[in-house]
Structure 1
Amino acid sequence: MTAADVARSLGISRATVGFVLNNTRGQTISEGTRQRVFAEAERLGYRPHSAAQALARGRSKIILLALPDWPVEHTLGQHIAEASRVLEEAGYSLVTYTLHESETVRPLWEVLDPDVVMGLLPFSERDLTSMRASGISAIIPDPSSEPASWETGPSIIAGPELQVQHLAGLGHRRVAFAAPDDARLARIIEARFAVVKDCAAKLGLTAPGHRYISLHDSSAQLALKEWLAAGITGVVAYNDETAAAVVAAAIRENVAVPGDLAVVGHDDNPWAELFVPSLSSIRFDIEGLGRQIAMNALAAVDGRVTPAEDPTPIATLVRREST
């Protein structure tokens, strides 16, 4: 069904129907006619033609968020949900798209013609070339400026620093780092471990080692035995899932938590408080970071400069039974 079908059914001009459906200003169309148009459009099942509307107004009202090939855990999911909410209030739709090393289909920015393409990490030259060929000029991070190193950004540093400082403040001098056994997270795990080592050195702690923990095998039990043999009394976990795996292994081995081993997680998943013993964790202002993503996108739509670096995240340590 098109606007012309609505006009034909009502016996009025196509222009009148177009003015009503598009809420065109400066027209003297009676309220009665407006209501008849809306009612008939609904009865006939009329839906706006999005591609035609985008062509007419020069905007698709779509923001494309390109995600790294990371698992969508609690924190990232909440980022996206809040960004989507803010953009929706401004009349835009947020579409997410996961970037893979070997693309077998056309990139989504070539299909959707989004107003803005955003990435959590800087885009590759191959992707930038594809975007420019598609006529996309609003790209975040801005490829024309020197990209800040995300490995040393506040969103990476804040959490691990608080974790190490917390354990050190409780008197732990030998700590270890536990990370999920997921190759997709290799770069961010390496970046966080570097922060853990640096913070431990500044506090005079023994240089920490690290172990990869799977949720589906005995790696947590094996790591636990090695840590206890080496005199490790505190564990910095990459996330709450890894922290839970370590604590569960300790319980099975009759190791007291936190008496023999203190464990602190990261991300403050909703279930961290329900786990027994409840997990100490790092809580971020997730909604604030999600809103920042949305505001950067809206600034790019309007041609305004967006911040070159992430805003400093508000991170706090939530102390629970595991420490």
Structure 2
Amino acid sequence: MPEPGASRRATAVDVAREAGVSRATVGFVLNRTEGQTISESTRERVLEAAQRLGYRPNSAARTLRSGRSRLVLLVLPDWPIDAAGLRDYLETVESALAEHDYCLVTQTRPTGGRGRPLWEALNPDLVHGITPFSADDVASMRRCGVLEIVPDPVDPEPVDLSVAVSRGPRLQVEHLYACGHRDLAYVTHRTARPAFLVDARYRAAQEAARSLGLPPLRHRYVDHRDGSADRAVREWREAGVTGVAAFNDDAAAVVVGAAVRAGIDVPGQLAVIGHDDTLPAAVFVPGLSTVRIDTTALGRSFAALVLHRLDGRPLPPRASLEDAVLVRRESTRR
């Protein structure tokens, strides 16, 4: 028996007693069972009683009863949690899935997939990867009973990374071009990761330059601690480079700082544009032009895809919004 005064986990029976309804009604309301003729007032009474008692469903029992864990596992590459607004993205996904009684779990797996994957311990209903899974990973998921895998290993569709990868770099290059710059460079901070995103954005910037008839972009890795940024801006100045597109705002800030120390006017002699519209871009002096990505809209789209795969919910039409937006500030203004 529990010790006197010890807290006891509220059960569905407690909720039913508190709300004055049957145990079955509580189950129908909390599980959002369709096809039931339960009045709105009764539904609200059950939900209020559950909240008042601090009721939380027993996930293990629910999994045994329904055969579903209501867990969605999102496997991320070795990616900083603040990169490209990832935190806002994940919070949006988590909130949208919670509205339908799903719980989002994330796992960051280093390059090469070292470490035990969480799908072996959690039995998620769906596993989603930013990039396609290896054959060994897919086999492991199948052994664990995972039924929904995205990207689909049997009929894989290209993962749409266009907003995070190609649209921003194209906007960067087109903006520098519109400002009159014809000899451009591309810069990445040495600590930037994941590598696939660095490579993909650089390729997108190269393609944008090629489509405008510009010469190939010079790609440099810089670090604010070793003088590489100072050397880069001097070399660019001697080579006639007048515009720099940066992988992110950190790299842009490093370049602008090095240019100012070298007596190079920004943007008069060297225009610099970042990516992601982080706080430093707005407060840096001079303010950094950058690209803003609507990570909240991307999060809603991801949640809609998950619910479509798991519950058959219709995919909403793609919103006619600008997923990547150019933000003009002092670092590129004439």
**Range into which the TM-score falls when normalised by the shorter chain:** 0.7 to 0.9
**Offset from partner CA, 1:255-293 (integer Å, 9 cap, x none):** 211011100011111331221111111112211111111
Cα distance in 1, alignment partners of residues 9 and 173 from structure 2: 62
In the alignment, the residues of structure 2 paired with residue 245 and residue 282 of structure 1 have an alpha-carbon distance, to the nearest angstrom, of 17
* Deviation sequence 1:279-322 (CA, Å, 0-9, x none): 11111221111111111111111257989xxx997212111100
> Are residues 1:300 and 2:305 paired?
no
Give the corresponding residue for 1:92.
Answer: 102
Identity, % of aligned positions? 43
- The reply on whether 1:203 has 2:208 as its aligned counterpart is no
**What per-residue deviation string (whole Å, max 9, x for no partner) do you get for residues 182-239 of structure 1?**
4743222222222222222222223221101224332211211111111111000000
| Cα deviation, residue 104, structure 1 | 5.7
- 2:281 is matched by which residue type in structure 1? A
Indicate the residue corresponding to 2:125 in structure 1: 115
- 1:76-134, Cα deviation, whole Å (9 max, x unpaired): 22221211121122221111111224556431111111111111111111111111111
Residue among 272, 285, 288 paired with 2:297: 288
2: CA distance between counterparts of 1:296 and 1:261? 43
Report the equivalent of 1:22. 27
Superposition deviation, residue 3 in structure 1: 7.3
Secondary structure of the residue aligned to 2:194 is: helix
TM-score normalised over the length of structure 1? 0.82
Please give the root-mean-square deviation of Cα atoms over the aligned residues, in Å: 3.3
Partner of 2:187, secondary structure, is strand
Whole-angstrom distance in 2 between the partners of 1:142 and 1:262: 43
Equivalent residue number for residue 64 of structure 2: 55
Q: Which sits farther off after the overlay, 211-220 or 169-178?
A: 211-220
2:146 to 126, 129, 136: 136
1:234 has 2:257 as partner: no
Contact 2:109/2:115 (8 A) holds in 1: no
- Closer, same or farther: CA 137–209 of 1 in aligned 2, 3 Å: same
Q: 1-side partners of 2:321 and 2:154: how far apart? A: 23
Q: In the alignment, is the contact (CA less than 8 A) between 2:77 and 2:111 conserved in 1? A: no
* CA offsets 1:130-181 (integer angstroms, 9 cap, x no match): 1111111111111121342768x45422111111111111111111000121
Alpha-carbon distance change, 291 to 215 in structure 1, aligned in 2, over 3 angstroms: farther
Shift in Å, 1:20: 6.6
Q: Distance in 2 between matches of 1:105 and 1:203?
A: 44
- C-alpha change, 1:26 and 1:203, in structure 2 (3 Å) is closer
Give the number of the structure with larger relative contact order, counting CA–CA contacts within 8 Å between residues 6 or more apart: 1
Q: What is the CA–CA distance in structure 2 between the aligned matches of 1:161 and 1:26, rounded to whole Å?
A: 53
| Matched position secondary structure for 2:258 | helix
What residue ranges of structure 1 are gaps of 5+ in the alignment? none
Name whichever of 239-248 and 45-54 sits farther off: 45-54
- TM-score relative to the length of structure 2: 0.80
Report the CA distance between 1:26 and its aligned residue: 8.7
Q: 1:271 to 1:168 in 2, by over 3 A?
A: same
2:134 match: 124
Question: What SS does structure 1 have at the residue aligned with 2:186?
Answer: strand
Matched to 2:209, the amino acid is: A
Mapping of 1:29-68 within 5 angstroms? 42=53, 48-68=57-77
Q: Unaligned 5+ residue runs, structure 2?
A: 1-7, 30-35
Give the corresponding residue for 1:271: 280
